[in-house]
Amino acid sequence: ATSRLLVNYQEPYRSQILDYLFKPNFGASLHILKVEIGGDGQSTDGTEPSHMHYENDENYFRGYEWWLMKEAKTRNPKIKLIGLPWTFPAWIGKGENWPYDYPDVTAYYVVSWILGAKRYHDLDIDYIGIWNERAFSSKYIKLLRYTLDKHDLQQVRIVASDRLWEPISFVLLLDSELHGVVDVIGAHYPGTKTVPNALLTKKKLWSSEDYSTFNDEVGAGCWARILNQNYVNGNMTSTIAWNLVASYYEELPFGRCGLMTAQEPWSGHYKVEAPIWITAHTTQFTQPGWSYLQVDGQLEGGGSFVALTDGLGNLTIIIETMTHNHSQCIRPLLPHFSVTPQKATFYLKGSFRLLHTWQSFKHSCSAFTMRCNVWKGSFSLYLNVDEVYTLTTLKTGQKCGCPEPPPPQPFPSNYKDDFNIRNPPFSEAPNFADQTGVFEYFINSSDPGDHVFTLRQVVVQRPITWASDADQTISLIGNFQWVNMTVTCDIYIEKQRDGGVFIAGRVDNGGIYVRRTKGVFFWVFADGTYRVTGDLAGEEILMKGLSGVRDNTWHTLTLNIQGTSASGLLNGYPLWENVTVSKPSNGWAAIGTRSFEFAQFDNFHVEA
C-alpha cells in the first residue's frame, strides 16, 4: 500500500514522477514492476482492495495497481509485471485464516486477477507469486499451474516462495512435479547470499524483495551494493526494491523507504532521491534477457563489479566501491568489511570497445554523469571509495530532469470532502489511507436526499491477514503533527443492534502497528449509546452515555480537541465535553467502524 498518495497528484507532476520511475533512458528506467494483488487486509502501510470482496463479486477497477501497471507499460512496453498476494478476502478461507484449505478456490481467485488484468486493461502478467513471506503449499502451487494452463496462461511464470531460500529449495529437489512448475526461486532480503540447495535446483534465483531502506545517501549505497553483489555473491539475476516510490504518509511504518519520495499530492512536491540514479547505472545499460558473464566480480581493494552482454556485441560493466558505513541496508545485519581506493585493471577480449563511462559519487550533486572514453584491450581505472561506475558500449543513457517541482507544504489545515463524484477515477477518496477495512466511493440509491454520494466501508468479514489487522476498521487522513483540531462527519450505521462508527483525532499509529493505535475516538452505536476512548481497541474509556443514535439514519458527529480537553457534538448539539486527553499529543484525523461492517460517511471536514 505504498503508492496510495501517488494517484492524486495533479498533472504535470504525476506524469513527471512516473517518467522518473518507468520511462526508458530517463531516470530509474525500471525493468520490473511487482504489484500487490489486493486482499482487503493490512500489507505494511495500509490495505489494498480485492478484486473480489465477496464470493459473488468481481470488480477490476478498484485500487490503483491497474492504473500503475498501465502507466508503467505506456512508458515501457517491455516492462515485466509481477503479481503477489499479501492477504486474501475472508471467503477464500471459508472462516479460517488460511488460504490453502481450498486450494482450487485460491487458484481460481488469483487466476481471475490475471485474466481481469488482460480483459479489462490489456495487461499481460508475466510472473505470479504464492503468498508474501508466509507458508507455501506444494499442492496449491501445482493446482495454480494447472489452472493457469487451463486458461491458456502458459506464459505466466511462477515465483516461489517470496520468503527464504528454504524450505522451498529443498522441497523442489525432493518433488520433481513441483520442480517442473516453479520457474523462479524468490527470496527476500538475502543479504547477497544464497544456499547450496537453491543452486542445485538450477532455477533462476531472484532477490524478489530487497532494499527497504531510508532513501538518503546510505540507502543509495545499500542499493548500489546489493544490485551488484546479489549476483556476485548469490547468483541472483533480479533484485526488486520494496518499495517503488514513498507515496504514503511518512509517519507510517518504513517512511521514505522508496526509490524516490512523492508523499505530498496536495502541494505537488516530490523528490528524486539518489537511489533513482543508482538504479539507472544498471537499468539504462542492460535489459531483461541480457546475460551476466561469469567473472569473479570481487575487487581486490573491496567492492564489486558485474559484466553483462546482450550476446549481440554489447557489453556493460557496473562497478561499485561502497564502504560498510555508507551501504548498510535495513536488514539483514551487514558484517564489517573494508574498501580502499584502488587501481583496477580489466582485460577485454575480442572486439569489445567500451565507449561511455557513467559515474556517481557519494555526497555529490553530480550523480550519474557521463564522459566519453574508448576502452579496449586492457585498461586501468582508479577507483575511489563510495563510487559507482558504468562502462558500456551503449550510447543510449541519459540523465533527464523535469523542472523543479513546487516546494513542500503541509497537508491543508482546512480540508473538506463531500464525496460527490459520479464517475470517480479511483475507487477510494483522495488522501484517505485505509489501515483496516476498505473505504470506497458509494452511490446510495436508497437516499434521494443529501447523501446520494458517500464513502462506504465495505469489508464485512475479517480477511485472511498478513499482519495484525485491527478488529475495527479505520482510515487515516491529514497531518501527523496536528495537535488541535475539529473533525466533523455525517455518519450512517448500517448494522443493526451492535453496529457502530467513530470519528477520531490525534491518531498516532497505522500500518502493521494499527492494533496499538491511540488517539481520541468518538464512537456512536446502533443501540443508542456513545463512548469516548483513548484507543482504537476501545479499551481506554474516557466517557460514555446515551446518544439516541440509531442505525439506518444519518447523524452528524463533531469532535473538538483543544490542548488537554475534548468535546463532542451530535447533530450540532453538545453531547459531551471537558474530557481530559493527555496522550497522544498529536496525530492524524480518522474515520472507521466498530467491526467489519457496512457503514457510510459523508461531508467530512477537518480544521486543524
Distance of alpha carbon 88 from alpha carbon 85, whole angstroms: 7
Q: What SS3 class is residue 359? A: strand
Catalytic pick among 48, 65, 71, 209: 209
**Helix orientation angle between 274-283 and 217-232, rounded to the nearest 10 degrees:** 30
Distance CA 455, CA 453 (A): 7
- All 3 cell numbers of residue 526? 446502533
**Strand partners of residue 436:** 474
Find the catalytic residue in 133, 251, 494, 607.
Answer: 133
Task: Write the CB contacts of 89 (distance below 8 Å, at least 6 apart in sequence).
Answer: 39, 40, 50, 52, 53, 54, 109, 459, 461, 463, 464
Q: Which residues contact 126 (CB under 8 A, 6 or more apart)?
A: 80, 81, 82, 155, 156, 157
- Judge contact between 109 and 88, C-beta under 8 A: yes
In 3D space, the residue among 135, 133, 134, 115 whose CA is nearest the CA of residue 125 turns out to be: 115
Active site annotation includes 133: yes
Contact (Cβ atoms closer than 8 angstroms) between residue 608 and residue 485: yes
What pairs with residue 517 in β-bridges?
A: none
| Crossing angle between the packed helical segments 103-121 and 138-150, to the nearest 10 degrees | 40
Q: Is position 209 annotated as part of the catalytic site?
A: yes
Cβ–Cβ contacts within 10 Å for residue 10, how many?
Answer: 11
- Does residue 196 have a cis peptide bond before it, meaning omega lies within 30 degrees of 0? no
User: Which residue numbers are catalytic?
Assistant: 133, 209
